[in-house]
Amino acid sequence: MKKKITLIPGDGIGLEIMSATVEIINTATNNIEWEEVIAGNTAFEKFGNLLPEHTIRSIKRNKIALKGPITTPVGGGFRSINVTLRQMFNLHSNLRPIKSFEGIESLYKDLDMVIVRENSEDLYKGIEHMSTPDTAESIKVIPREASERIADFAFKLAIKEKRTKVTASHKANIMKLSDGLFLKSCQKISENYSQIKFDDVIVDAMAMKLVMNPHNFDIIVAPNLYGDILSDLAAGLVGGLGLAPSANIGDDAAIFEPVHGSAPDIAGQNIANPTAAILSGIMMLKYIGEDEAASKIDMALKEVLIDKNLHTKDIGGKLYTDEFKDEIIKRLN
C-alpha cells in the first residue's frame, strides 16, 4: 500500500525545489502518494490564512510531511509558520546533518557531524512584551523535561549512527538558571550513556571552534536559538545553505525540510539548488522505511555533485534547477 505524505511546496524557491524533489522521489519509488497542501504566503494570497485548517488536518492525518521553505513576514504580528508547526505537532527534536560532499568547493573536506537542536522552547516560544514604551522583553523558556529529552535524543542518535561524542553548547556562564538547567540536564542524561564521550563548550567559543576545527565535533546538542545559528554556520563549512537538510521529529509526527529559507532574491529564476530539499527527502524516505529508494537517490545525487560541470550557480556552476534535477533522474533511470 502506498504511504501518504503531506507535501507543502512553500513559498519562493520552495515551488521550484520541491517539485524537483518530488519528481526525483517518484522516479525512485512508486510507494508514495502525495497529498499537496499549502502554507505561508501562497496560502495567505489564496485563503487569507498563512496556515489553513486543511493543511493542519493533512499533517495530523498523515503524520509525515515534506515541506519547502515558508516566507515569514517580518513584524506585523505574524507568527512564524515554521515555529507554529513545530509547536503544534510537538516536533521537539531538530536534526541537522552537516556533511561535506566530494566535488563541492568548501572550507572543509570529510566533515560529518550532526547538530541536534531543541525545537520547541527557548526564545522561540515567542513570549514578548513591551515592559515600557521603550523596552522590549523576550522570555527565554528552558524546561528541564525538554532539555533532558533533547539530550537523550542526541545520545540515542550517537548510538544509532555509531558516533562517539556529544557536545552540549550553552551560555551557562551568563544565563546561569536557563542555560545552567540545559547544561545540567545534558550532564545528567550523559550518565546513562557511558560509552559515548560527553563534553560542553560555551556557544561563542563553539562558533570559533567550529570554524577552526570542525572535525573535533561529532554531535552538537543545543537549545533552540544556538542550534539555529550554529547549524547555519556549520552549513557554511560544507558549501552553504543549498546543501543543508533537516528533520523535525516529534513523538507523533515528523516534518522534513531544507534548512534554508524561501530565498526571495532568486525565486522564480530556476537557479535555486534543490540539494537540501532532496537530502531532506532522503531523510524522510529513511524515516518511513523506504531505504532502497533513499540510497538510490543518495547515490545519484552524489554522482551529480561530484561533477563540477553539473553544479547549480550557488556552488559555482551553471546548471538551472530543472537541469540539475534531470541529471539526477537520468542516473536513477
272 binds ligand NAI (CB under 6 A): yes
Terminus-to-terminus CA distance in the chain, angstroms? 23
* 314 flagged as catalytic: no
* 291 flagged as catalytic: no
Pairing mode of beta strands 219-222, 245-249 = unpaired
- Cβ atoms of residues 158 and 219 within 8 Å: yes
Residues 12 to 51: which contact ligand NAI by CB under 6 A? Answer: 13, 17
List the one residue out of 260, 266, 255, 225 whose CA is nearest residue 243. Answer: 260
Q: Looking at the chain, list the stretches that DSSP marks H as alpha helix, in order from N- to C-terminal side.
A: 14-28, 41-47, 53-62, 81-88, 144-160, 178-190, 203-212, 224-237, 275-287, 291-305, 321-332
Say what angle helices 291-305 and 275-287 make with each other, to 10 degrees: 160
User: How deeply is 127 buried, as exposed, middle or buried, from its count of CB atoms within 10 A (0-12, 13-18, 19+)?
Assistant: exposed
171 binds ligand NAI (CB under 6 A): no
Point out the residue whose Cβ comes nearest to ligand NAI: 261
Site string for ligand NAI, 228-267 (x = CB under 6 A): -------------xx--------------x--xxxxxxx-
Site string for ligand NAI, 296-325 (x = CB under 6 A): ------------------x-----------
The least distance separating ligand NAI from the CB of residue 298, rounded to whole angstroms, comes to 18
Residues 176 to 235: which contact ligand NAI by CB under 6 A? Answer: none
The least distance separating ligand NAI from the CB of residue 210, rounded to whole angstroms, comes to 19
- Residues forming contacts to ligand NAI in the complex (CB under 6 A) are 13, 17, 69-72, 82, 241-242, 257, 260-266, 272-273, 276, 314
Catalytic residues: 124, 171, 204, 228
